[in-house]
């Protein structure tokens, strides 16, 4: 372990990684070297029941409007869309004719500012591969600029050889030696980028965080008002699971403790049936989160920048397109796993319309179809009770170039 760890840390230092990022990686590498798998056994958790529903919340009132003035929206924009054969930010894809994901996100923020008379900054968290193209695309929205930077870049960590626990090398493409540490890196990157300090100095108290590929995730003032009224440190929006959500990460209760998020990669083989039992574990995480920023800063300070989120060991090959390349571990965390860190963290059930992520061309066809309409307020509105289920043949539709070629006139 010592040689592999020191080699990895030295590699990060040479790459210019901040000390907080290095210490976070050290924490997870040491867990891996001790043989920990990051799994959450079924016999250590109980199902979550009877959560509050956003449908029952009152209008925000004066309290909600006051909280809106102290809120920032953060969108995770690090995805390349590699599963669809892309090499650029996924959010540069069109979601409706002539309108990209980033266009929708920018317009949503500008409309909210206009409607409520608030400053509401938009801050994007990029990966080391998505920043340049995304910022160029947003130049058409000069009004987005506020007293905060428009973006920050999450860290990157070495891929670790599975057989030796040393940093992987790949001279054919050295960039493939690195991996993003999952969106749980949000918290450390808020510190290392200086954004968290900027937010607190600017009088911001709350953050709404969501993935950029989920256009249903527009800031909802009623949920913000509830979050502020209850003085919560952290809250997660969840959905009632359906048959199509069996593999999505679900929340549960640690026995004798608070809420916990369990992802598929954290589930033992023998617990897979329980994990996919949507009657037993009825709520899944749609990755729309609410943060109390001062509490986050205090907890990070107490833990020297290491929240200690549950580890996810992602097993890959160093070159994802070459299954014969060396097996590696990518050490990751999920940002929703912070529900296990903050005492008094909560979850709230929302409607399906707040969850419309695009991970595959199946999902892309759904949001491009007339099942969703783009409103004048730049909201992607589901015009039926449930989105249609699409299952395209991956041999012909998986890659975006093939997909577009099959739909020259748009969705049927």
Condensed to tens digits (0 to 9), the pLDDT of residues 70-96 reads 999 999 998 877 778 887 889 999 999
| Cα–Cα dist 184/186, whole Å | 5
287 — pLDDT class (breaks 50, 70, 90): very high
Angle between helices 61-68 and 221-229 (to 10 degrees): 100
Compute the mean pLDDT over every residue in the chain, rounded to the nearest whole number: 92
Give the percent of the chain with pLDDT over 70.
Answer: 100
What is the reported pLDDT for 50? 87
Give the percent of the chain with pLDDT over 90.
Answer: 76
**What are the residues facing 96 on neighbouring strands?**
99
| Cα–Cα dist 294/43, whole Å | 35
Overall average pLDDT of the 10-14 stretch: 97
Condensed to tens digits (0 to 9), the pLDDT of residues 99-146 reads 999 999 999 999 999 999 999 999 999 987 788 899 999 999 999 999
| Cα–Cα dist 366/369, whole Å | 5
**How close are the terminal C-alpha atoms of the chain, in Å?**
55
What is the reported pLDDT for 203? 96
What is the reported pLDDT for 62? 87
Residue 133's closest CA among 151, 108, 154?
A: 151
Condensed to tens digits (0 to 9), the pLDDT of residues 314-367 reads 899 999 878 899 999 999 999 999 999 999 999 999 998 899 889 899 999 999
Q: What is the pTM of this model?
A: 0.93
**What are the residues facing 293 on neighbouring strands?**
none
Give the Cα-Cα-Cα angle 307, 149, 379 (nearest 5 degrees).
90
Condensed to tens digits (0 to 9), the pLDDT of residues 33-77 reads 998 888 899 999 999 998 999 999 999 988 888 999 999 999 999
2 — pLDDT class (breaks 50, 70, 90): low
Report whether pLDDT(1) > 80: no
Domains along the chain? 2-406 (3.90.550.10)
């Amino acid at each position: 372990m010592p040689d592999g760890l020191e080699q990895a840390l030295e590699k990060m230092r040479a790459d210019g990684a901040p000390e907080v990022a290095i210490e976070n990686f050290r924490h997870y590498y040491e867990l891996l070297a001790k043989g920990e798998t990051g799994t959450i056994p079924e016999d250590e958790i109980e199902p979550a029941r009877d959560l509050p529903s956003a449908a029952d919340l009152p209008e925000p009132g004066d309290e909600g409007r006051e909280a809106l003035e102290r809120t920032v929206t953060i969108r995770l924009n690090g995805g390349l869309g590699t599963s669809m054969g892309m090499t650029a930010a996924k959010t540069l894809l069109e979601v409706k004719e002539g309108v990209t994901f980033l266009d929708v996100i920018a317009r949503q923020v500008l409309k909210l500012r206009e409607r409520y008379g608030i400053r509401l900054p938009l801050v994007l968290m990029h990966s080391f591969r998505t920043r340049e193209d995304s910022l160029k695309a947003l130049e058409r929205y000069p009004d987005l600029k506020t007293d905060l930077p428009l973006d920050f870049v999450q860290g990157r960590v070495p891929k670790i050889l599975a057989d030796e626990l040393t940093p992987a090398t790949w001279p054919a493409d050295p960039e493939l030696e690195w991996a993003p540490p999952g969106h749980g890196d949000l918290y450390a990157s808020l510190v290392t980028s200086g954004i968290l300090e900027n937010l607190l100095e600017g009088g911001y108290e709350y953050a709404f965080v969501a993935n950029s590929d989920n256009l249903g995730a527009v800031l909802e003032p009623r949920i913000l008002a509830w979050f502020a009224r209850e003085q919560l440190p952290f809250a997660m929006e969840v959905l009632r699971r359906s048959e199509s959500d069996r593999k999505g990460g679900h929340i549960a209760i640690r026995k004798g403790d608070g809420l916990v998020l369990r992802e598929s990669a954290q589930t033992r083989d023998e617990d897979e049936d329980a994990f996919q039992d949507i009657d037993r574990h009825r709520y899944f995480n749609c990755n729309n989160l609410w943060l109390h920023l001062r509490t986050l800063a205090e907890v990070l300070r107490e833990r020297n920048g290491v929240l200690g989120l549950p580890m996810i060991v992602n097993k890959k090959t160093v070159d994802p397109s070459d299954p014969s390349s060396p097996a590696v571990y990518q050490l990751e965390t999920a940002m929703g796993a912070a529900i296990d860190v903050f005492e008094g963290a909560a979850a709230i059930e929302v409607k399906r319309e707040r969850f419309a992520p695009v991970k595959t061309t199946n999902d892309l066809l759904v949001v491009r179809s007339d099942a969703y309409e783009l409103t004048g307020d730049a909201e992607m509105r589901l015009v039926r009770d449930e989105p249609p289920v699409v299952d395209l043949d991956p041999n012909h539709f998986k890659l975006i170039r093939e997909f577009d070629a099959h739909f020259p006139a748009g969705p049927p």
